[in-house]
């Protein structure tokens, strides 16, 4: 679609303005995010902030339809920003403010009474995605795909989500948070001698074993066993 067609569609959807706001610079603008298939901008709709994802002209996908389907499925299990409308080239979503998970950990330095509910919520969201049959596809890179606002985490960016592979949301999320990543090192540094440091090399094997059990038979039971192991 042309620029004029996109603009007309946005106006028909009630978009009244687009803001030069965000941490990602591109072509003289500040954007909320830049990905391989789209850019995300802050906009106004009916007086409320929303996020717009616009398909890049050079994107490998011909449309954002598949991502819209994935986000709709995630919304049905209370995961992800709410999808408010979409076309082949544009998604209108809830705006998810707040820092990424790593920045939240480093700037807030939350106590166990705050950090565990956030991690627990993320694990629950990943489990619901597993049960829905959709794999997010990028939860190993949790620093890029989680926002925390008011101690409430949101999983974002479903551009690589698929029903065509076995869901591995819980296992990849646990690996991204606890095993061999910058976030894992932060947890080990800030919460030593707690279960949040389980991913440290000397203590990693029991965690990997619980992950294997869940991967072999994902269920409420194996998930609860894993959750209890990680809980401080």
pLDDT in tens, the chain (232 residues): 688 999 999 999 999 999 999 988 988 889 999 988 899 999 999 999 999 999 998 888 889 999 999 999 999 999 999 999 999 999 999 999 999 999 999 999 999 999 999 999 999 999 999 999 999 999 998 988 999 999 999 999 999 999 999 999 999 999 999 998 999 999 999 998 888 887 766 668 899 999 999 999 999 999 999 999 999 9
Q: Number of H helices and number of E strands within the chain?
A: 9, 10
Q: Rounded to whole angstroms, how far apart are CA atoms 226 and 68?
A: 31
pLDDT at residue 200 in the model: 67
pLDDT at residue 35 in the model: 85
Match 């976030």 to its residue by tokens.
183
This prediction's pTM: 0.93
Q: Is 177 helix (H, G, I), strand (E, B) or coil?
A: helix
Two structure tokens written together for 40 = 């995300």
pLDDT at residue 194 in the model: 86
Name the strand (E) or helix (H) holding 146: strand 146-149
């Amino acid at each position: 679609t042309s620029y004029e067609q996109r603009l007309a569609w946005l106006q028909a959807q009630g978009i009244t303005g687009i803001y030069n706001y965000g941490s990602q610079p591109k072509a003289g603008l500040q954007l909320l995010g830049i990905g391989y298939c789209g850019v995300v901008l802050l906009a106004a709709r009916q007086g409320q902030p929303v996020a717009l994802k616009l398909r890049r002209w050079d994107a490998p996908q011909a449309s954002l339809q598949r991502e819209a389907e994935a986000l709709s499925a995630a919304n049905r299990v209370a995961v992800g920003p709410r999808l408010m409308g979409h076309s082949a080239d544009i998604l209108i979503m809830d705006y998810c403010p707040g820092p990424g998970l790593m920045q939240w950990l480093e700037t807030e330095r939350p106590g166990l009474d705050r950090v565990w509910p956030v991690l627990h919520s993320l694990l629950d969201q990943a489990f619901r995605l597993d049960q829905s049959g959709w794999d997010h596809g990028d939860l190993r890179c949790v620093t890029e795909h989680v926002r925390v606002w008011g101690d409430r985490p949101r999983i974002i960016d479903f551009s690589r989500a698929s029903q065509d592979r076995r869901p591995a949301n819980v296992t990849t999320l646990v690996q991204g948070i606890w095993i061999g990543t910058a976030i894992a090192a932060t947890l080990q540094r800030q919460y030593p001698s707690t279960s949040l440091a389980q991913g440290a090399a000397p203590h990693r094997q029991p965690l990997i074993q619980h992950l294997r059990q869940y991967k072999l038979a994902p269920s409420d039971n194996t998930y609860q066993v894993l959750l209890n192991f990680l809980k401080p």
